[in-house]
Structure 1
Amino acid sequence: MQKQNIIFNLDDTLVYCNRYFNKVIGEFADQMTIWFHTLTKEQIKQKQLEIDLELIDEHGLTSDRFPESFIGAYKYFCDLTGKEKVKHEIEFLRELGFKVFNVPVEPLPYMNETLQQLKKAGHELYLHTGGDEENQRRKITQLELTTYFEHRIFISVHKDTTALSDILKTIDADPKITWMIGNSLRTDIIPALELNINAIYIPAEVEWKYNEVEVKVEPKAAFLTLNSLQDVPTAIHKHIKEEGLNHSFGLVP
């Protein structure tokens, strides 16, 4: 079997992530309705999301951005309603936002089994995760992911086509035998398709609005959608086998 370069995303591909953010956002909305009696939780969550998405352009996927979205929403509604901005309330929101980065990380089902199976088959495993170094390393360390990825770990504050392109150049990857596996259409799948490598999309249980984009790139390599991590090894090995048969019969150059 031909060895493949397999690049995994981390958050909501290998480990749970959005569920923790949504829980903290719920706590934020609950507290805000106590301070702002005329607002609904939906109005509060919508403004927080709007500010959070705006901050990505400036700060990327850093941890600091998320708590700032709470504070930005709070200040917005203070200005809107005439409420005084209270220092200890702002500090409370900042601490609440950072709370999500102290939650023990939890692997998705079949994470270890999938990585072990691919490693045992002789494939080269890589990790490309978005965020800041400290928080992502915390997760990697907690789950001992260097067992599978060793030093082949890349952390990008701005996770996009440029970041993935730099990784492919660094590892000198042949696009035909290189895969990107992730839950984010924006930061995993579209960059992979734009760089003509194979892509596997595994939708998250709960998706973040930032990741919900339309895929307008025409795939020039394999583009699969799977329901679970455990389906990844079979799908890749089936593709390798089919490619081998096509070469044997002269169906591909």
Structure 2
Amino acid sequence: MQTHNTRGIALVGFDADDTLWRSQDYFDDAQARFERIVSAYVDLADVGERLYAVEKRNIAFFGYGVKGMALSMVEAAVEITDARISAQDLHRIVGLAKELLRHPVELLDGVRGAVEAVAENHPVVLITKGDLFHQEQKVRDSGLADLFRRIEIVSEKDASTYARLFEEFDVTPKRFLMVGNSLRSDIAPVLELGGWGVHVPYHTTWAHEAEAELRHGGERMRAIAGISELPQALRELDAIARHAD
């Protein structure tokens, strides 16, 4: 994919979950229901923390997304209850995952207008991680697919993944800007490589995505309160990038 800007930011990437549409709300609800199921067997205040510990160690095996969470919930339920949990309640936990896979795609306020505004002056791509089938379905149902030059669904969003994508996109890091709600996955690795970022915090974030430290390039990032502020933030960073050239 070729980009035509010879100066400044030449390509803008967007995260999907909790940047373009709601996602974590549904996961939070599923976890709360999981905790209620397990709490019928044990009187513990840290059920959520113990679930996260299982999820974190399972990322290397199951990756991200609903199916990985479902397997982790089953494993955690057995561990936390010392295998006393009933088959019926395990079935209820699997049902939570199925509900997650069926939840509607609800765009956040102002998303389509903001993406269209950016796309008027910059080619845009979508970069998301998670379960392939589920992410494909959400992109399809969002009604936004036509706005993006490319849609990439990856297993991880780290510096090595972005470096590979930059080669495929035929763009250097200093010509790329990433928009997303996660400092860990969307912003920090891009800044580390020399790129630019716009952080759009969401009101709730999975604990794993909240574990982030910006050690590089903070001057190449803007934090905005909502997606409607993106075009202005992009103009500011693009001006800085052009001046740096």
**Counterpart Cα distance in 2 of 1:182 and 1:216:** 14
Identity %: 21
Q: Select which of 27, 52, 64 maps to 1:21.
A: 27
**Counterpart Cα distance in 1 of 2:144 and 2:27:** 22
What is the RMSD of the two structures over their aligned residues, measured on CA atoms?
2.0
Q: Structure 1, residues 9-66: CA drift from partner, whole Å, max 9, x if none?
A: 00111111111100111111122223x1x424x4222211111111112222143211
Give the deviation of 1:220 after TM superposition: 7.7
User: Are the structure 2 counterparts of residues 70 and 220 from structure 1 closer, same or farther at C-alpha, using a change threshold of 3 Å?
Assistant: closer
**Counterpart Cα distance in 1 of 2:93 and 2:201:** 30
Give the deviation of 1:85 after TM superposition: 4.5
Asked if structure 1 preserves the Cα contact closer than 8 Å seen for 2:173 and 2:190, the reply is: no
| Paired position in structure 1 for 2:91 | 91
Q: Select which of 192, 204, 219 maps to 1:194.
A: 192
Q: Structure 1, residues 170-213: CA drift from partner, whole Å, max 9, x if none?
A: 01113232101111111111110121111111111111100112
**Counterpart Cα distance in 2 of 1:243 and 1:50:** 40
**TM-score for the superposition, normalised by structure 2:** 0.89
| Paired position in structure 2 for 1:54 | 57
Where do residues 111-190 of structure 1 align in structure 2 (5 Å cutoff)?
111-120=111-120, 122-150=121-149, 152-190=150-188
Asked if structure 2 preserves the Cα contact closer than 8 Å seen for 1:70 and 1:97, the reply is: no
User: Are the structure 2 counterparts of residues 39 and 92 from structure 1 closer, same or farther at C-alpha, using a change threshold of 3 Å?
Assistant: same
**TM-score for the superposition, normalised by structure 1:** 0.87
| Paired position in structure 2 for 1:45 | 48
User: Are the structure 2 counterparts of residues 46 and 243 from structure 1 closer, same or farther at C-alpha, using a change threshold of 3 Å?
Assistant: closer
**Counterpart Cα distance in 2 of 1:29 and 1:107:** 28
| Paired position in structure 2 for 1:64 | 67
User: Are the structure 2 counterparts of residues 93 and 173 from structure 1 closer, same or farther at C-alpha, using a change threshold of 3 Å?
Assistant: same
**Counterpart Cα distance in 1 of 2:168 and 2:90:** 43
- Paired residue type of 1:20: Y
Asked if structure 1 preserves the Cα contact closer than 8 Å seen for 2:66 and 2:100, the reply is: no
Give the deviation of 1:77 after TM superposition: 2.1
Where do residues 99-118 of structure 1 align in structure 2 (5 Å cutoff)?
99-118=99-118
Matched residue of 2:128: which SS?
strand
Q: Which ranges in structure 2 are unaligned for 5 or more consecutive residues?
A: none
Q: Which ranges in structure 1 are unaligned for 5 or more consecutive residues?
A: 247-251
User: Are the structure 2 counterparts of residues 98 and 242 from structure 1 closer, same or farther at C-alpha, using a change threshold of 3 Å?
Assistant: same
**Counterpart Cα distance in 2 of 1:9 and 1:242:** 23
- Paired residue type of 1:9: D
| Paired position in structure 2 for 1:8 | 14
**Counterpart Cα distance in 2 of 1:168 and 1:101:** 31
Give the deviation of 1:216 after TM superposition: 4.1
| Paired position in structure 2 for 1:217 | 215
Asked if structure 1 preserves the Cα contact closer than 8 Å seen for 2:37 and 2:89, the reply is: no
**Counterpart Cα distance in 1 of 2:84 and 2:238:** 63
**Aligned residue-pair number:** 239
**Counterpart Cα distance in 2 of 1:243 and 1:65:** 39
